[in-house]
Chain A
Amino acid sequence: MKVKLKNVFVIYFLVSVIGLMYALLQLGQPCDCSQHLRSASDLMHGKDKKISQLLSEVKRLQARGKDSELEGQALPVIYAITPTYARLVQKAELVRISQTFLHVKNFHWIVVEDSPVKTQLVSELLAQSGLRFTHLHTETPKEHKLKESDPNWLKPRGVEQRNLALQWLRENRELSEEGVVYFADDDNTYSLRLFDEIRSTKRVSVWPVGLVGGLRFERPLVEKGRVVGFYTAWKPNRPFPMDMAGFAIALQLLLANREAQFDMLAERGYLESSLLQSLVSIEELEPRADNCTKVLVWHTRSEKPKMKQEELLQKQGLGSDPSIEV
Chain B
Amino acid sequence: TLCNPHLWQQASGVSPKVIQNYVYSRPPPWSDTLPTIFVITPTYTRPVQKAELTRLANTFLHVQNLHWVVVEDSPRRTNLVSNLLEKAGLIFTHLNVESPQSLKMNGSRIPSHKPRGTLQRNLGLHWLRDSFNNTQPPEGVVYFADDDNTYSLELFEEMRYTRRVSVWPVAFAGGLRYESPIVSPAGKVVGWKVVFDPNRPFAIDMAGFAVSIRLILERPQATFKLEGIKGGYQESSLLKDLVTMDGLEPKAANCTKVLVWHTRTERPMLGNEGKHGFSDLRMEV
Contact = CB atoms under 8 A, between A and B. Distances in A.
Decide whether A and B are members of one complex: yes
B270 A215 contact: yes
A293 B284 CA distance: 9
Nearest to B281: A216
A96 B171 CA distance: 14
Contact of B195 (A100, A219, A313): A313
Nearest to B60: A99
Nearest to B196: A309
A320 interface: yes
Contacts of B273: 214-216
Which of A91, A100, A307, A320 has the most chain B CB atoms closer than 10 A to its own CB? A320
Given A91-B261, A214-B271, A306 B54 contact: no
Interface stretch (A49-57, A173-181, A295-303): A295-303
B99 to A, nearest CB: 23
B285 interface: yes
Secondary structure at chain B's binding surface: helix, strand, loop or mixed?
Answer: loop
B48 interface: yes
A324 B169 contact: yes
Given A298-B285, A303-B265, A310 B177 contact: yes
Interface string B170-190: 011011111000000000000
A309 B113 CA distance: 18
B268 to A, nearest CB: 4
Contacts of A130: 18, 20
Given A208-B283, A233-B276, A300 B270 contact: no
Contact of A103 (B24, B256, B269): B24
Contacts of B61: 103
B150 A309 contact: no
A213 interface: yes
B257 interface: yes
A20 interface: no
A324 B178 contact: yes
Interface string B52-72: 101100110110000000000
B175 A216 contact: no
Which of B47, B171, B174, B256 has the most chain A CB atoms closer than 10 A to its own CB? B171
Contacts of B52: 189, 300
Contacts of A13: none
